[in-house]
Amino acid sequence: MAKVSMDLVKQLREMSGAGMMDCKNALEEAGGDVEKAFTILREKGIAKASKRAGRATGQGVVEAYLHTTGDGFPPQVGVLIEVNCETDFVAKGTEFRKLARELALQVAGFEARWVSRDDVPDEVLVEERTVYEAKALQDGKPEQIIPKIVEAQVENFLKQNCLLEQPYFRETSRTVQDIIAEHISKLQENITVRRFARFNIRES
Amino acid sequence: MAKVSMDLVKQLREMSGAGMMDCKNALEEAGGDVEKAFTILREKGIAKASKRAGRATGQGVVEAYLHTTGDGFPPQVGVLIEVNCETDFVAKGTEFRKLARELALQVAGFEARWVSRDDVPDEVLVEERTVYEAKALQDGKPEQIIPKIVEAQVENFLKQNCLLEQPYFRETSRTVQDIIAEHISKLQENITVRRFARFNIRES
């Protein structure tokens, strides 16, 4: 199979709204031809997800997960999550609720702090950037490559802390967004994570 | 029994840290004598709660409650709450966890927005005050009594929206703080509500 560049993957993602791995696979299948890859995604019903991605999500479910360790302590970590869809038909289905459950487990285990990178406050990004810059300077890195180093570290920070970009805990080669996109295709409606809370007794 | 003034109740609350109803009852029993009422509270182990009220609470439980209405919908309202105590011994007990469960139910049903009045943002208070003032003026109330009217309405707003000041749903003559104080006395350690989250699909 053809090795595809990240630029092509990015382009296809923007065209289709599909997840990174889906785009990569389609591009490999299409030998690097973006148009052909887009058609493959459409055939699989994955590209259509993007058309649904803008649609209003007024229904949904609130799901909770309490983590118990079995050492006599009551739950020390808990998650509350709201996942939205378009119709009560999907909201009432078991598949949608199972997805919400999976997402609650994901938040409990992988300690996401925000839903997407758009939710990260500016001051947090500025602080991260400042720390990475200082570290790179201290490590004696050549000045001209420091911006690249910092960018890569910020990217890494976002991927670790934003739920949608995290690796899905049951299948770490795919992101949480990939899993949601799969359900959008399957259930034929837009699905969004509106918000979540994660409490840990040990947090100060 | 003697009818006791709110001023006396307030004074005894500050002395003892006990709940409003406990203070009122003790004052009635003491015929309005604050010192005697304080002794009554101490005898009942309620005043001692205030000495414990400053102590660090590093243990606790995270509890969740999902509200299902039984019409085929999955939970549309959910609550996550963190309740803290001092030792793992109390944290592991059923009584403490039962309290956390009750508090989660309280938040689900009575829609508290903050734990205590200290948590209400200044801008919210300013806005409420402005609305009440405008309303009182519009209603043609005499200017000299408007501050009193506004104060009463702000008090009412705080009592409705702060968890600790709300009437306890199973026994509306007592506040949530009264119930917590009772558990502080009974379990012999400080108990605090650290935080909660309440998600409702229908909220815009």
pLDDT at B81: 98
| Closest chain A CA to residue B89 | A73
Q: Where are the beta strands (DSSP E) in B45-176?
A: 59-67, 77-85, 167-168, 171-175
Contact A146, A115 (CB under 8 A): no
Give the mean model confidence (pLDDT) for residues B1-15: 79
Percentage of residues in chain B having pLDDT higher than 90: 59
Check residues B186 and A38 and name the one with the higher pLDDT.
B186
Beta bridge partners of B63: B81
Model confidence at B7, in pLDDT bands (50, 70, 90)? confident
Whether the per-residue pLDDT at A15 is higher than 80: the answer is no
CA max distance for chain A:
59
CB contact (8 A) between residue A199 and residue B199:
no
pLDDT of residue A47: 65
Percent of chain A topping pLDDT 70: 94
Q: What was the pLDDT predicted at B40?
A: 80
Please tell me which of A99-103, B39-43, B44-48 the model is most confident about, judged by mean pLDDT: A99-103
**Residue A33: pLDDT above 80?**
yes
Q: How far apart are CA A39 and CA A30, in angstroms?
A: 9
Most confident of A6-20, A91-105, A129-143: A91-105
Report the mean per-residue pLDDT for chain B: 89
Q: What is the mean pLDDT of residues B28-54?
A: 75
Q: In this model, does residue B37 exceed pLDDT 90?
A: no
Instruction: Give the pLDDT confidence of A148-196 residue by residue, as tens digits.
Output: 999 999 999 999 999 999 999 999 999 999 999 999 999 999 999 999 9
Average pLDDT over residues B164-192: 95
The alpha carbon of B171 is separated from its chain's Cα centroid by a whole number of angstroms, namely 13
In degrees, to the nearest 5, what angle opens at C-alpha A182 toward C-alphas A14 and A15? 15
pLDDT band at B73 (very low <50, low <70, confident <90, very high): very high
Neighbours of B11 (CB within 10 A): 16
Cβ–Cβ under 8 Å, residues A112 and A101 = no
Statement: residue B75 has pLDDT above 80: yes
Query: Distance (Å) from the C-alpha of residue B128 to the closest C-alpha of chain A?
Result: 27
* Residue B50: pLDDT band with limits 50, 70, 90: low
Can you say whether residue A32 is alpha, beta or left, with left for phi > 0 and alpha for psi between -120 and 50 degrees?
left
Encoded tokens for A180: 């949601």
The values of phi and psi at residue B67, to 5°, are: -100, 115
- SS3 at position B36: helix
**H or E stretch covering A66:** strand A59-67
Say which residues have a Cβ less than 8 Å from residue A177's Cβ, sequence separation at least 6: A19, A20, A164, A165
Rounded distance between C-alpha atoms, residue A109 and residue B81, angstroms: 18
CA distance A2 to B170: 67
Facing A92 at nearest CB: one of B65, B73, B200: B73
CB A16 within 8 A of CB A48: no
Maximum C-alpha span of chain B: 59
Per the listing, tokens 């243990």 go with: B59
pLDDT at A40: 80
* Residue A97, pLDDT above cutoff 90: yes
Chain B residues within an 8 Å CB radius of A101: none
The reported pLDDT for the residue numbered A53 is 64
By Cβ distance, the residue of B72, B92, B194 closest to A74 is B92
In the predicted model, is pLDDT for residue B26 greater than 70? yes
CB B93 within 8 A of CB B60: no
Supply the DSSP string of A133-193, one letter for each residue.
HHHHHHTT--GGGHHHHHHHHHHHHHHHHBGGGSEETTEEEEEHHHHHHHHHHHHTS--EE
pLDDT of residue B47: 65
Which run of H or E residues covers position B185?
A: helix B176-187
pTM > 0.90: no
Task: Pick the closest to residue A76 from A203, A204, A200 (CA basis).
Answer: A200
Provide the terminal-to-terminal Cα distance of chain B, rounded to the nearest Å. 49
pLDDT digits (tens, 9 = 90+) for A111-160: 999 999 999 999 899 899 999 998 899 889 999 999 999 999 999 999 99
Q: Which residues of B touch A96 (CB under 8 A)?
A: 74
Which residues make Cβ contacts (< 8 Å) with residue B156, sequence separation at least 6? none
Residues of A with Cβ-Cβ distance to B81 under 8 angstroms = 199
pLDDT of res. A5: 87
Residues whose CB is less than 8 angstroms from the CB of residue B127 and which lie 6 or more positions away in sequence, other chains included: none
Q: Which residue among A60, A76, A80 sits closest to B80, beta carbon to beta carbon? A: A80
pLDDT at A2 over 90: no
Please indicate whether, in this complex, the C-beta atoms of B66 and A65 are within 8 angstroms of each other. Answer: no
Q: What's the DSSP call for residue A10?
A: H
Show which residues on chain B lie within 8 Å of chain A, measured between beta carbons. Answer: 59-66, 72-82, 84, 88, 91-92, 96-97, 100, 194-195, 197, 199-201
**DSSP-based three-state secondary structure for B95:** helix
Q: Complex ipTM above 0.95?
A: no
Residue A193 is predicted with a pLDDT of: 97
State the pLDDT confidence band at B54, using cuts at 50, 70 and 90.
Answer: low
